[in-house]
Structure 1
């Protein structure tokens, strides 16, 4: 595949074969098992391969970072750039040479951190359209999210911000995923003896939108914001009598669910509801309005 096409669209970029793209950067898998191609992470230094590309899904997941996505999600992290800048790189406007990164951290070396400039009520039309595309009601999103304006690498951006328990934000817009420090879980406490767990806040908002008219008992919620924070969340989770898991339908999410179920009878895995989709939000996007109403009580 020629990665140097002109006028490359976001949709076209997302369809590019991730394995071939990594090969063009000089990365080859350390092992291949079925559709899973395992690499030493291009995003950090490691000895044991924990960066996986599922070639069937054409998506990557870095188990050490607890993050993943499509080729664009990878590119903006790899090059520390915006979506537009990455598309230019893909078009051939910039060299495909590996960016000069030193994985040996120098003591007191300043990091390029995302800086929050301001947070306001959600009002941006592009963000509203994005929420509509994800089938999230605006009233549900505005109840739990903010519009966050931030700076990264001396450039300003904005997105949907979801605050964690330490004051950091998970930020999403149609083209970019980001996090501000400190990284942490988000808990929503309703004085319940039951807790429901999600990897990301879009799944939480999906759950709330499906249950928007349900006036029955409301559980506590934990949004991990990264699967790597599951262990940190366990003391709070296991203080409840019942723990409902709505983790992503990928290898990492399924592995955590299996381990949790084997450790305690409190855990219940609900991923079968969206077994043909990557997560709860993906399932919600693909079901009709009538199905949404009819299936809401299954949650």
Structure 2
């Protein structure tokens, strides 16, 4: 297959998971509440249907493995001996499509009611950045608007209130590996759908780990020529899994917070990954990379601060 740069959003939306399973020879054994149940094709010891697919959301979950995700995640697990690129190519081939066919189609995001307990969210639409002044102002205030276009979207969604009515909302958002949306605005921080990490492929020899997307974007702004693979945890609860995934890389850089949880995470990662390096000294005096970036921006704008602190010494240490 030709050496394409994949548009993973297009593939996710245009390759049907249930149809792909059928083409691979797997059919559901039962259906319940809009979900299809299969004998797991990812394990050899499944005696009862424990591989669940939500066809509307395009998501799967293997209860025996405790893992799930979208159709691309399935391909990575189904063909574990292939590289990520090879697994995506095989997925496209099995689906009966070609890369050009899939990526030539107009991208129409699904209006999906994500599976949550309470409250219930509906994703109305995701748009490119720049059309919503409030979202743009928020990202500009965090110093990352100019490096966010390829990573964040304007996300429009509604939340179901206790009285049954819906409230329309919007935020800056990025999708994690299970199709959930991490959302941020000036007043709200949360996740719509399943919580998971976010991976951005790059240099296969080097990976950089961050707690949050805004810290990654801050690093990207100050290190624009870096080409490393990126793993954003979105929650330190995924630290063990992140350590496992990072272990195959020759070079690992850690940019965790300077709070108690971040320091513990750094120590644990360093103890299990001999090739890892703690890079948090780059924002010494600040809790995280984004806090340093925003302080630098405010200092540049304020002549009083700039005159008093010409070398950008962390203000909390002065």
The TM-score bracket by the shorter chain reads 0.5 to 0.7
Q: Is residue 2:287 matched to residue 1:278?
A: yes
Deviations 1:189-246 (A, max 9, x none): 114211001111000111111122x2xx511100001111111222221110111110
Shift in Å, 1:264: 2.5
C-alpha contact (below 8 Å) 2:243/2:269 kept by paired residues: no
Distance 1:267 1:157, change over 3 A: same
Match of 1:140 in 2: 147
Tell me how far apart the structure 2 counterparts of residues 131 and 220 of structure 1 sit (CA, whole Å).
23
Output the CA distance in 2 between the equivalents of 1:147 and 1:129: 12
Q: How does 1:47-58 map to 2 (within 5 A)?
A: none
- Structure 1 runs (4+) deviating above 6 angstroms are none
User: Pairwise mapping of residues 221-232 of structure 1 onto structure 2 (< 5 A)?
Assistant: 221-232=230-241
Gapped regions of structure 1 (runs ≥ 5): 1-108, 295-299
1:126 to 123, 129, 134: 134
TM-score of the superposed pair, with normalisation by structure 2: 0.54
Q: State the match for 2:217 in structure 1.
A: 205
- 1:123-180 per-position Cα deviation (integer Å, ceiling 9, x unaligned): 21111111111111x3311111100011223211100011111211110011111111
Partner of 1:171: 183
Q: Quick check: 2:243–2:272 contact (8 Å CA) kept in 1?
A: no
Task: Please tell me whether the aligned partners of residues 121 and 159 of structure 2 are also in contact (alpha carbons under 8 angstroms).
Answer: yes
The alignment's TM-score, normalised by the length of structure 1, stands at 0.57
**Contact 2:196 2:234 (8 Å CA) reproduced:** yes
Gaps of 5+ in 2: 1-115, 161-165, 301-305, 313-318
Aligned mates of 1:233, 1:264 — CA distance in 2? 11
Structure number with larger C-alpha Rg: 2
CA distance in 1, matches of 2:124, 2:190: 14
Aligned residues: 183
C-alpha root-mean-square deviation of aligned residues, in Å?
2.5
> Structure 1 residues 262, 147: CA separation in 2 closer, same or farther (over 3 Å shift)?
same
Is 1:147–1:159's contact at 8 Å kept on the other side of the alignment?
A: yes
Distance 2:246 2:120 in 1: 30
**Structure 1: how far apart are the matches of 2:204 and 2:185?**
32
Contact 1:116 1:149 (8 Å CA) reproduced: yes
Q: What residue is the counterpart of 1:79 in the other structure? A: none
